[in-house]
Structure 1
Amino acid sequence: MKTAIQIPEYKLFIHPATISELRKDIWIDDPVAAKLTIYKKKYDIDLAYRGNHIRDLKKKSYRISFYKPGMYRNAKEIHLNAEFKDPSLLRNKLSLDFFYDIGCLSPKSQFVLLKLNGKNEGLYLELESVDAYFLGNRQLPTGAIFYAVDGDANFSLMSDLEEEVKTSLGLGYEMKNGTAQDKGHLEEMIIKVNTISKEAFEDEIIKYINVDKYLRWLAGVVCTQNFDGFVHNYALYQNSDTGLFEVIPWDYDATWGRDVNGEVMEEDYLRIEGFNTLTARILDVKKFRHQYKLLLEEILDSKFNVAYMKPKIQQIHGLIRPFVEKDPYVKDGLDLFDKELVYILDFIEARGKYIRTELTNLT
């Protein structure tokens, strides 16, 4: 008999004067001291707001670092996402679980109920931080980790933001784990992506990129239709044993048929060839293009379809519904929350059909 999945309650205490300090400027990343109680165990933590376009929403998202005790469930840092723009509240988790199912490295996530100084702040999605502990918990070789923080993380020599040659090849990335030497490896990889000749690309790029893992990540972005995913919403991990880079998804709420503002995104909005310089160069190689086509076909048959996804969606929807009813920020949207289950399933059906019709582009 399966044990029922529980949603833990996180009790956050922030001194009133500290709350005023935190709210004075929501764009400051400096953390404040706070306390967190989980299952009656108390933690001293550092807390800061997180996100870019979501910071000025009334339901805030948070980044939490543990310092006394210094770890929680083998993690030094976690993220609490409000998922406020997603009427289903489940797109981010659904996406990250989907990436894991198709063979990508992906952060773990769970829903939690948050209380702030005794006040119910509603349902949050706890996201595992992609850092050295992320690697250790999976018994992966240590390695550099870079967060793609803006559109300049486009694998190009040209800036996506300024439309001119980059002044530094590290633009668009924030190093989460690693050394100055690792920054050099990142810059070398970007140079090679842009300068290896067409004739040599197939043989040379596999010295820098784990192409199989990259194509799996690409398939995940294309299926979930995360438009920002090609230059944002990911982390780069360089495996120290192989020296190869692979991509880890991050922040996937704008998916499954809705954009970053929660508005409808039609199933044909994102082409299956994707974007960014590295994707274009990899798919320019016939062997890799064929590999990607076979991978998409396999995922459509086995994972990205209503039969496979429906029970997963129903389980998460049923788990969080009682908490959505009581969430002070989203309880008035309960009717839309219920309709989202069918909406997402309809998107999967329509998106799957669209991808199949476009597979001939990969021959």
Structure 2
Amino acid sequence: MKYNFPITRTTTPKAKPDPDTLRFGQLFTDHMFIMEYTTGKGWHDGKIVPYAPLQIEPAAAVFHYAQEMFEGLKAYKSKDGRVLLFRPDMNAKRTTSTNERMCIPHLDEELMVEAIKAVVNVDKDWIPEKKGTSLYIRPFIIADEPFLGVRPSDHYLFMVILSPVGPYYEGGLAPTKIFVEDDFVRATPGGTGFAKIGGNYAAGMKSQEKAHEKGYEQVLWLDGVERKYVEEIGTSNAFFKIHDEVITAPLSGTILPGITRDSVINLLKQWGIKVSERRLTIEEVFEAGKQGKLIEMFATGTAAVISPVGELSWKDEKVVINNGEIGELSQKLYDELYGLQIGEVEDTLGWTVQV
């Protein structure tokens, strides 16, 4: 590694969890990475320390003005014992874009990836090996300078914490039911929809709560101006296979540039499947459903990888997709991506990085 981070190991290691009962994001490993930023000094003093609560001022800027960002990726252990990350350079590039929008100081992309690799290497024994499990990696930056006033902070913390996880959705690859949101708005042009920040998710909780009350797992957002074009599904990007074309929303500044999204687009092109990044109205989706042309729908994201959709609800209409079963393409994409991530499919694209 180019960077050499000092390590302080815990004196009270925790018991490893049972991989058969793992939930998502509820347990954390023994160690974490932490680095400071100070105006005039830059990023400094990166180190690996025991996982522990932070001591932070009540007046810290992150609490009052939400100056923060986060990322998400996973580590996997292959059958031959290698520890693999999946396209961490893309997380680093997205961090650069988010930081610029949020007035957070630039974090060197190579430094970020090396920090992730370093802490994962320390806690690699926490990586579960049961199929469908992984070590979720959460890098994040918070403004922790204590002041009340709307301006960029002069001090930040960059941290990486790790969590052994099971499937994001308890049903695994079982198709989910999605509620189409046409009242609340997630993002509008010129906003922060493309950035990986907590505020985007906090603003969507009310809609997700409404969906759960109606018996649906997630929300499909429509555009924030006309409320007619499909955009994202909760924490994921949305794909629709209509007849022989796979369609996903374009990167126009209102949706997250998902790493799994980009991987899926690349694979579809490699397989000779027509894939379009274009605007698609919810009316077109439901009309295709009525005509039997909506062959498949699925969501893509780091947490779930591929999540097939079996039912959509919009206003007083419902459409069942592929008889509520996982589609052939969704299954093929999951098998290919997960196979790459765990080292069982040959990586001809250079997407996996060994720790």
For Structure 1 versus Structure 2, the TM-score category normalised by the shorter chain is 0.3 to 0.5
TM-score, normalised on structure 2? 0.32
Task: Compare the two structures and name the one with the higher helix fraction.
Answer: 1
Task: Compare the two structures and name the one with the higher strand fraction.
Answer: 2
TM-score, normalised on structure 1? 0.32
Which structure exhibits the higher relative contact order, with contacts defined as CA atoms closer than 8 Å and separated by 6 or more residues?
2
